[in-house]
Amino acid sequence: MASNTAAMRNGVRLRERGKIFARQLTVLLALNAFFVAGSFAQSTGDGAYTKAQAAMGKQVFDKTCAICHGDHLQGGPGPALAGEQFLSVSQFQKISAEYFYHFMSTHMPLTNPGSLTKKQYISIMAYLLEENGYPAGSQELTDKKGQLEAIKIEPQH
């Protein structure tokens, strides 16, 4: 009888610990969602790049990328980098600006991959964001951990 009572007390303690753990986990997940959402809102809603940065990106794009991707990012020998089809495919595949930037900086331009400076690649990324409806802001786009990752390439409403 005594062992049954001890086992019941242990069972009650385990259930109480489980409830406490579940509450702690819920709070941690809520905090994580809050900070991720805040980071995303700051990255895109408040502007993820500057107008000047996008203008510089357009200049670099026109010289090094337009031959394959078109003067207006509509595509050509290379895929389109703006517009409904590009955005819907990117959204479906859950592509972030981080992924796109990494691919660009290691594989483009096709004839000389990785030949541009980090600043040029980031500026091109700013130009692509601008052309796909992302708002400009007062802070330049950077390759700092988390900033590009928080920007999902998807239609802007």
pLDDT at 123 > cutoff 60: yes
- pLDDT(38) > 50: no
At residue 96, φ and ψ (nearest 5 deg) are: -100, 165
Token pair belonging to 58:
């357009």
Res 39 pLDDT > 50: no
The three state secondary structure string of 33-65 is HHHHHHHHHHHHHCCCCCHHHHHHHHHHHHHHC
Among 17-26, 63-72, 132-141, 148-157, the minimum mean pLDDT is found in 17-26
Q: How distant, in Å, are the alpha carbons of 52, 61, 145 from that of 116?
A: 18, 11, 20
Position 99 in a domain: yes
Whether 66 maps to a domain, the answer reads yes
Q: Taking the CB of residue 1, how many other CB atoms lie within 10 A of it?
A: 5
127 falls within a domain: yes
Q: How many CB atoms within 10 Å of residue 55? A: 14
Residue 7 vs residue 72, higher pLDDT = 72
From 7-11, 61-65, 80-84, 122-126, the region with the lowest mean pLDDT: 7-11
| Domain-located, residue 35 | no
In a domain, 115, yes or no: yes
Bigger pLDDT: 45 or 58?
58
Long-range contacts at 70-79 (CB < 8 A, ≥ 24 apart): 72/131, 73/128, 73/131, 78/110
The enclosing domain of 79 has a CATH number of 1.10.760.10
Has this prediction a pTM greater than 0.75?
no
More confidently predicted of 157 and 142 = 142
On whether residue 84 sits in a domain, the answer given is yes
Residue 64 within any structural domain of the chain: yes
- Structural domain span for residue 71: 46-131
Flag whether pLDDT at 151 surpasses 50.
Answer: yes
In a domain, 106, yes or no: yes
The token duo for 82 is 């703006």
Query: How many structural domains does the chain have?
Result: 1
pLDDT higher than threshold 80 for residue 95: yes
CB contact set of 143 (below 8 Å; sequence gap of 6+): 101, 118, 122
